[in-house]
Structure 1
């Protein structure tokens, strides 16, 4: 009973912290949902995506698929190997370890965008063309690379 209360308290605190770290630009309506406003064709738009869905818990993400998706959709800003660039921060970095940025923060970043908070790169817009399942593959690859770099 006490352990359940501690777990519940920790869970509530974690969600509050995640919301602070991954709030979408512009305080878009529906930001607390798994879905938000309609997508646009403009890659630079800060409009959250309504069609984005996080895959079910039993979804089997494939890190190798994530590497390809990352290269196609994320490397332009986050650099080859997620090591950062002059456009975006490295994701293979202790700031993005699971205890500080849980997987949900990556889903939120893709679907809703993120206010600049750790780095000086500006706000990140939602990423069009990347589904929730694609994001799961990307997260699996990022976590694998983080572990290989000693980040856990």
Structure 2
């Protein structure tokens, strides 16, 4: 390939990768009837997580959907959520950038958030 061809190919790849996600990654979420623990987690999630992950975990232009097969328990166990909340996480599945730690959540609050996410996942066939 010529130098021009390499640049054209690179530009095409960047354009495709930048638009490959578009809004296609956003998930329409219906929140099921939740346990008491998950109801508390929903409140905490909405206050601390929804600006990036969507009101019910369906994703936004700032962050990925958590109600997605990538976050099923066999791939991202509950500890992965604890670790991400406590320490932040480097981007590795989505093109959003790194997640910063979430300050001020108690262990009980984190467990409630996880219960919320997991119950919504199960309602959408992710378990």
TM-score (norm 1): 0.59
> In structure 2, what is the Cα distance between the partners aligned to 1:78 and 1:119?
12
Instruction: Find the counterpart in structure 1 of residue 117 from structure 2.
Output: 142
Please tell me whether residue 66 in structure 1 is matched to residue 41 in structure 2.
Answer: yes
1:130 pairs with 2:113: no
Q: Which protein has the larger Cα radius of gyration, Structure 1 or Structure 2? A: 2
SS at match of 1:135: helix
Q: In the alignment, which residue of structure 1 is the partner of 2:16?
A: none
* Residue of structure 1 equivalent to 2:26: none
Q: Deviations over 1:36-72 (max 9, x none)?
A: xxxxxxxxxxxxxxxxxxxxxxxxx800000000000
| Cα distance in 2, alignment partners of residues 81 and 109 from structure 1 | 18
2:29 matched residue in structure 1: none
Point out where structure 2 has 5 or more consecutive residues left out of the alignment.
1-35
Q: In the aligned structure 2, how far is the partner of 1:109 from the partner of 1:132?
A: 13
What is the RMSD computed on CA atoms of the aligned residues?
1.0
Structure 2 equivalent of residue 103 of structure 1? 78
Deviations 1:86-144 (A, max 9, x none): 11000000000000000000000010000000000000010012122111000001000
Q: Counterpart in 2 of 1:118?
A: 93
Three-state SS of the structure 2 residue aligned to 1:62 is helix
Number of residue pairs the alignment of both structures matches = 92
Q: TM-score, normalised by structure 2?
A: 0.71
Alignment of 1:2-151 (within 5 A): 62-151=37-126
